[in-house]
Structure 1
């Protein structure tokens, strides 16, 4: 998790290592506050918003050897890798494997081909699914309020979790990228294998390539120069290292690896640690990782933070002017009032 400090238009890129909530004698003896420890130092706050998106990316059956030739999509720095680029510059053939059934895998395959990779094998453990969005249209169309209302009126978090799984239904690609993949397949640059997984991979220290065997033995691959995993990330908040103290001191229930947060998006009623994004899906619904979830989550959290800090504190940088700016940012009242302060 990274912490970004937006005060005075400054962004601070720091890795959060621990979050604690309690009394600090030298700072706050009356109210509990957060102590956020990062690799750069310690920060204190009355409220904290957690928007991490999920757990750190992990490669299935991560090998001991050949780690320089295997990359998770979320850790990608360049495409193709320097070693593959060197082979292409020397006019040698280079082959790569992309694992994943979502839009990211299709984008990686397309990018690799456009940048000169000789051939790409795209492996999907299930069938190719084509959808305009990564959730069903019923969740993003004009009648989405019906689905959202049904979600919010469920009797248990288990029901919500089942609705989330059904709505997202694994990885998918968009119709435009389906056409792109079909074009690459027609040129012979792409081999799309559905219902296929890597059965075994062995690293050759001499040739610096992979020997890859597939499930079912349907196809034999040549030596592979690089394997890319576009397999997403796990959502299990209890495995996040920087939340271990919070889970110990202020335990909460979980379902499907997601925290059972309050309707106000807080960790608990007595803990103003607010959750946004993918980890807030039990409150926001299947669209939590998307823009629609971001909008709803941001609105709820903004209201909740104002309740925690109080109306007086929200405008402490300029009385009514500060309050009008806050109202503008949270969508309250007339936004022209805030614009008048600038004019």
Structure 2
């Protein structure tokens, strides 16, 4: 096998598409390892849970090699793009992705399994999974961060003791959704979830956030997609300063302007309440959950956390063991130091969060997947 890709989400599938369509690598020389049954299945699951109608990314950000592929794919429907940035509808984006992956036979290159370890054998990588081993000359780690949920400390005990009432919206088994409902979080995931629940249970939903809505069209300034900001970023020899630049550039916990407008209309109609407050304690009495806030109190039946993913991907055990065995170099923040082609060492590439000290703040999103694919194919 020429290429083994660990991760079959947006990043892994985009890289496979570029290898096949842009570099002419035979599909038979590629293997994608992923715990799920097919391409971008986890993406589809997570976005459907919050009923996300449109992507935050503009129409030129997708899994195909041609920037205007989504426009060419459109059969004339007027409702597949939204707003001035032509954000694609989720169903349309997924349909386009499926068509691309089918055309190159990606499903046939799939091995369902979870990576358990990676070792070097001669000039090949051996990837051990719970469904067998795969050997390849080149390895791409594109596992993303979907496996590690961010759960506040105060919620851990509640979630453990009341799994049918308390949970993270992205955990495998969701609690039963029974009003009254509280959604904890102030970002775009929480916003989509509140809109969905407010329509299903009007007047029975509360959103609790430590901060007011932060309105930004994108999760970082579009200048980070090109030389406007990246020229200065790449001139930083200090990876500590690069990490700080990434931190400062990200609009964490933000929502788009159209989402804020939709939420405001729902709030005006009394479909939900927004509470900006700090949590001080929690409790349970019978089947009733309670949250003690600094300036108020909530009682209800269901508590949903929309608090994102844990940023500490380098805690993944098999990645840490690979770093130790191969002597891979990491920055002070624990993330890889890679070359311009995203090589961590010879024939070992990274994408997504692992590539952000080279790609910059957009590394984790769809634009970052395209940039990573372009960098990797330039090296071969």
TM-score higher than 0.5 here?
yes
Shift in alpha-carbon separation, 1:203–1:49, aligned structure 2, 3 A:
farther
Counterparts of 2:211 and 2:222, CA distance in 1: 21
Question: Judging changes above 3 Å, is the alpha-carbon distance between structure 1 residues 165 and 74 closer, same or farther for their aligned structure 2 residues?
Answer: same
- Secondary structure class of the residue paired with 2:114: strand
1:178 maps to what in 2?
260
- DSSP-derived class of the 1:221 partner: strand
**Structure 2 vs 1, CA of residues 266 and 102 (structure 1 numbering), >3 Å: closer, same or farther?**
same
Partner of 1:297, secondary structure, is helix
Tell me, yes or no, if structure 1 residue 68 matches structure 2 residue 164: yes
1:32-111 mapped onto 2 (5 Å cutoff): 32-54=123-145, 56-61=148-153, 62-63=156-157, 64-75=160-171, 81-82=175-176, 84=178, 94-111=179-196
- Count of aligned residue pairs for this structure pair: 275
Aligned to 1:11: 110
Indicate conservation of the 8 Å contact 1:161/1:255, yes or no: no
Asked whether the 8 Å contact 2:220–2:251 carries over to 1, the reply is yes
Q: What does 1:327-338 align with in structure 2 at a 5 Å threshold?
A: none
5+ long unaligned stretches in structure 2: 1-5, 8-32, 39-104
The match for 1:132 is 217
* Whole-Å separation in 2 of the counterparts to 1:32 and 1:235: 32
The 3-state SS of whatever aligns with 1:138 is: helix
Per the alignment, in what secondary structure is the counterpart of residue 263 of structure 1? coil
Counterpart of 2:307 in 1: which secondary structure? coil
Matches within 5 A, 1:1-343: 3-4=33-34, 9-20=108-119, 22-23=120-121, 31-54=122-145, 56-61=148-153, 62-63=156-157, 64-75=160-171, 81-82=175-176, 84=178, 94-116=179-201, 118-140=203-225, 144-194=226-276, 196-204=277-285, 206-207=286-287, 209-214=288-293, 216=294, 218-222=295-299, 224-251=300-327, 252-268=329-345, 270=346, 272-304=347-379, 306=380
Task: Report the CA distance between 1:118 and its aligned residue.
Answer: 4.2
* Cα deviation, residue 112, structure 1: 0.9
Gaps of 5+ in 1: 24-30, 85-93, 307-343
Give the secondary structure class of the aligned counterpart of 1:67.
Answer: coil
Q: Any conservation in 2 of the 1:65–1:203 contact (CA below 8 Å)? A: no
DSSP-derived class of the 2:110 partner: coil
Partner of 2:70: none
Structure 1 residue 277: deviation in Å?
1.2
Q: Could you tell me the TM-score, scaled by structure 2's length?
A: 0.67
Distance 1:8 1:116 in 2: 39
CA-to-aligned-CA distance 1:222-280 (integer Å, 9 cap, x gap): 2x222222222123233012213202212322343422222221222x4x221111221
Per the TM alignment, residue 10 of structure 1 is displaced from its structure 2 partner at its CA by: 4.1
**Offset of 1:166 from its aligned partner?**
0.9
Deviation at 1:119, TM superposition (A): 2.0
CA distance in 1, matches of 2:169, 2:354: 20
Q: What TM-score comes out, normalization by structure 1 length?
A: 0.73
Deviations 1:171-207 (A, max 9, x none): 100001101111121122222123x233222234x32
RMSD across aligned C-alpha pairs, in angstroms?
2.3
Q: Would you say the 8 A contact 1:157–1:282 is kept in 2?
A: yes
Q: Measure, in 1, the Cα distance between the counterparts of 2:136 and 2:106.
A: 13
